[in-house]
Amino acid sequence: MSMKRVANFCIDNTVKDTALIANSSIRGFVMVSNVESEGKISAPMVQVRLQHVTCMEDAALFITLSAAIDLIIDAYLEAVSYNSLQYAKSLEIAAIGKDVWVFDIDETLLSMAPFFAAKGWGSEPYEKATWIEWQEEGPQPALPASLNLYKELQQLGFNLILITGHLNLAPSEVDTPATIYKSQKRKELEDEGYKIWGSSGDQWSDLMGFSQAKRSFKLPNLMYYIA
Ligand SMILES: [Mg+2]
């Protein structure tokens, strides 16, 4: 763990058996984890209730792993962004706007973490209507590593095109599998004379199928999978 990335944990057992929690389902101690790291969008907070663990060591291990995973995902995103940029810099592109880099939006350019945080990180049932409602409230925070890549690619002269399946689909497209829908959109670009050098997405369905980019870059997503 670098000096810039610091994880702090504390155990708060002062709430034990107080009147404050007399009517609460929380019994015993509550542990809180705050993680600060370079480029973070939001510091995750983890609370563990006593009934979820059999001993203090279990809770400490749970929180430590949660923080470690959070830091690993950040490092992963930065590594993907770095590798994408190194590849982009190795290319010679023309100045006519036909050299394209395709981005997905959700969990690629923008983070849906605040939504999942509000929904117990997957512990509550997924409701599509709530998800759409939340997205339309926008704006969602950018993923810092992806935002940096986006700006760098712009500077290099790439035409940046966003292909997303999350909003504004035509009725005929709603039931189209993501892999097919995104391939069709890339095919349309190809047919119009665009050359797709790179593609970034958090789902394999963003990247696979036909009319694939010359190189594809897969970002991590621990929350959901779209076929
Ligand atoms: Mg996505």
Q: Ligand 1 centroid to 196 CA: how many Å?
A: 18
Angle, helices 144-156 vs 56-89, to 10°: value is 0
Q: Ligand 1 centroid to 83 CA: how many Å?
A: 19
pTM, two decimal places: 0.75
Task: At 19, list the tokens.
Answer: 């009147």
Task: At 190, list the tokens.
Answer: 């190809």
Is the Cα dihedral 198, 200, 204, 209 positive or negative?
Answer: negative
Tell me the one-letter amino acid at 5: R
Confidence grade of residue 39 (pLDDT, cut at 50, 70, 90): very low
What's phi and psi for 161, nearest 5 deg?
-125, 130
Question: In the sheet where 45-48 sits, what is the strand order?
Answer: 6-12, 30-36, 45-48
Q: Ligand 1 centroid to 226 CA: how many Å?
A: 8
What is the radius of gyration, based on Cα positions, of the chain? 21
Q: Ligand 1 centroid to 4 CA: how many Å?
A: 28
Q: What is the mean pLDDT of residues 48-69?
A: 66
What pLDDT is recorded for position 189? Answer: 97
What pLDDT is recorded for position 170? Answer: 66
Q: Ligand 1 centroid to 201 CA: how many Å?
A: 6
- Three-state DSSP at 24 gives coil
Residue corresponding to tokens 């349309």: 188
Q: Ligand 1 centroid to 68 CA: how many Å?
A: 23
Q: Ligand 1 centroid to 58 CA: how many Å?
A: 33
CA angle 94, 198, 212 (to 5 degrees): 115
Confidence grade of residue 113 (pLDDT, cut at 50, 70, 90): confident
Residue 4 confidence (pLDDT) above 70 = no
Higher pLDDT, 131 or 26: 131
- Answer yes or no: are the C-beta atoms of 104 and 80 closer than 8 Å: no
Residues 131-186 pLDDT 10s? 888 888 878 899 999 999 999 999 999 999 999 886 656 666 667 899 999 999 99
Task: At 18, list the tokens.
Answer: 């107080």
Report the alpha-carbon distance of residue 207 to residue 80 in Å, rounded. 14
How far, rounded to the nearest angstrom, does the alpha carbon of residue 40 sit from its chain's CA centroid?
12
Q: Which residues contact 58 (CB under 8 A, 6 or more apart)?
A: none
Residue corresponding to tokens 């002269």: 157
Residues 92-112 pLDDT 10s? 998 788 999 999 999 999 998
Q: Ligand 1 centroid to 45 CA: how many Å?
A: 24
Q: Ligand 1 centroid to 27 CA: how many Å?
A: 38
Residue 190 confidence (pLDDT) above 80 = yes
Report the alpha-carbon distance of residue 113 to residue 179 in Å, rounded. 24
Q: Ligand 1 centroid to 182 CA: how many Å?
A: 11
Q: Ligand 1 centroid to 207 CA: how many Å?
A: 10
- Answer yes or no: are the C-beta atoms of 33 and 7 closer than 8 Å: yes
